[in-house]
Amino acid sequence: MIPLRLLADTGGEPVLPGTAVLRMETTPKRTGTFDGAWWPRSRHLESQLSELLAALTARLGPLTRVGLDAGAWDERPGHLVVEGRAVRIDWAVVADDTMIVTRGGQDHFLFLVIPPQTAPSRARAAMAMAVRDENSASAGRILAATGVTPADRTRVPAGAPGP
């Protein structure tokens, strides 16, 4: 299963591809832009997202939908089955390096998505910056500030096969 850790648990450990880091604080006031960051191992959505959603379901409960950038993945299924439940996948061509996970009708969690080709030190820095309290930087600014280059963010052409 995918390593799913809270930021406080990542201090001395290396962050490897496939890792997700969550802020997930239970506070009355939400601060910062992102609730988590995810560094998939590849652009093969079904294998990567299934693991993440199973780990998130264990922590958050049943999820209903995920919003992803259509240009960032090799395939574009309309849903995945997680823990016996269908999770709808919404696609948009936004090129914003984010993912929105929805639980129920109104609980939304925003994740920074680190490109799979990113060097480990840069991925860890981007993940840490994304989940830091009071962070208000966009995904693009976080990736630029941590040295993730446009070459790391190779996009799938808009006309590529998909649903």
Res. 159 pLDDT band, cuts 50 70 90: very low
d(CA 37, CA 8): 14
pLDDT in tens, 79-101: 999 889 999 999 988 778 999 99
Q: pTM of this prediction?
A: 0.80
Name residue 4's amino acid: L
Q: Please calculate the CA angle 148-40-103 and round it to the nearest 5 degrees.
A: 115
pLDDT for the residue 156 = 47
d(CA 147, CA 87): 33
The mean pLDDT value of the chain amounts to 80
Phi and psi torsions of 2, nearest 5°: -65, 140
